[in-house]
Amino acid sequence: MHRNTLLMLLLPTLLVLGLGAWAAAADDGFTPLFDGKTLDGWHVLPGGSWEIEDGVVVGTSPRTEGRHGLLMTDKVFKDFTVRLKFKAVKGNSGLYFRVEEVKSGVGAHGFQAEIADRGGIGGLYETGGRAWVVQPKPEQVQEYFKPGEWNEMTVTAKGRDVTVTVNGVTTAELKNDPGRTEGHIALQLHGGQDMHVEFKDVDIREY
C-alpha cells in the first residue's frame, strides 16, 4: 500500500485517539467554585470586603476591622480536594474547610490551611479548637512559598485524613484526625490587620 494512502486511512483513527486523550486530560473531575464574574454560591460574613476583578477574587480589610472577614460557600462539603491559586499581598489569610459558621468575631470554627504574606503558609490551624495542629518551620516555608507571586494550594480531605500541598510540596498531613468531617469552605481576611489577598482558579472535586 502506498505510504500516503496508508496515512490517509490511519488519520481518522489517530485524530479520534488524540481527541480522546485531550478530553481525558481536560476532564479531571474538578468543577469551579466561582463563575469568574459573581459571588453566586457564596455568602459574605461581616468584616472586610470581597470583589471580583478580571476573574480574580480580591479580599481587603483595614487594620481597624477587628472581625475576621469570611467569604463562605453556601454548600456543605464532606470528602473532596479543593485547589486554588492565591497571592498574599498583605496580611494573614486562610483557606477554611469543614467549618461551621458561628456568631462571633471569628465567623467560623474549624480548620484552615494557612495563607499569608509570611509565616506558616501551608500549615493547619484550627480556629475555635486546637490552634496550630501543623505549623511549618520558616526554613521549610522558604523552600516552597513564592512571596508576592501566585502560589497553588490544594487541600484533600477524605474521612479523617487531611493533606495540604503548596506548589506541589506536601506541607501538612494528618491521619485519623479527630476534627470535623464536613462543613463549609471559606476564604479568610484576618481581623486587626491591613489585608489584601487574591484568589483565582478555585476548583473542587468531590468524592
Other CB atoms within 10 A of residue 203 CB: 17
pLDDT digits (tens, 9 = 90+) for 39-79: 999 999 999 999 999 999 999 999 999 999 999 999 999 99
pLDDT digits (tens, 9 = 90+) for 7-17: 454 444 444 44
Give 2's pLDDT tier (boundaries 50, 70, 90).
Answer: low
CATH among 3.20.20.370, 1.10.8.10, 2.60.120.560, 3.90.1150.10 for 31-206: 2.60.120.560
List, as one string, the DSSP characters of 100-148: EE-SSTT-EEEEEEEEESSSSTT-EEEETTTEEEE---HHHHHHH--TT
Contact at 8 Å (CB) between 60 and 190?
no
- What is the residue extent of each domain of the chain? 31-206
